[in-house]
Amino acid sequence: MLCPGYVGFLRAGGRVSNAAALAGSLLKLHPCIEILDGYLQVTKKYRGNMGKIVPRLVKEYIMAQKLSMDEIYLIWAPGLSEETKRAAENAAYETGVKKLTWVRTGGVITCHGGPGAFGIAGFADLAK
């Protein structure tokens, strides 16, 4: 799963320093957190508003992870705008995804990612 989160929530949870949180907020940075070998790791930082970075993130992640185009899962936390959701859907369909399913986050993910956090998940296509 991939999840741009809000830096303020990462600071509150002790995952980034106060200085890093301040810089991230000023520069509108959204860290991309992936689960790698069972650990949450920041793998990339996207800059800008969620409406612009989510479509790019969807396309990049589907291609980089070689996800099956049969179905992907888009994960959202309360606070993610409908406009951003539509942009994510359009990006997925443009990439060739046949079916997508929206999944609302629970309390733990929402608390860690913050309001409006977004994620993507799917199954790797081993034939690729």
Which one is predicted more confidently, 81 or 45? 81
Distance CA(106)–CA(26), nearest Å, equals: 28
Longest pairwise C-alpha distance within the chain: 44
Model confidence, pTM: 0.78
Instruction: Grade residue 22 by pLDDT with cuts at 50, 70 and 90.
Output: low
Distance CA(85)–CA(102), nearest Å, equals: 9
Model pLDDT for residues 42-78, shown as the tens digit of each residue:
788 888 888 899 999 999 999 999 999 999 999 998 8
DSSP SS3 for 18? helix
What pLDDT, on a 0 to 100 scale, did the predictor assign at position 1? 41
Which one is predicted more confidently, 90 or 77? 90
What pLDDT, on a 0 to 100 scale, did the predictor assign at position 2? 42
pLDDT of 15 higher than 70? no
**Average of per-residue pLDDT values in the chain:** 82
Distance CA(91)–CA(111), nearest Å, equals: 26
What pLDDT, on a 0 to 100 scale, did the predictor assign at position 125? 86
Cβ–Cβ under 8 Å, residues 13 and 6? no
What pLDDT, on a 0 to 100 scale, did the predictor assign at position 3? 47
What pLDDT, on a 0 to 100 scale, did the predictor assign at position 9? 59
Helix runs in the chain, H state only:
7-12, 18-26, 50-64, 82-95, 107-113
Distance CA(3)–CA(31), nearest Å, equals: 8
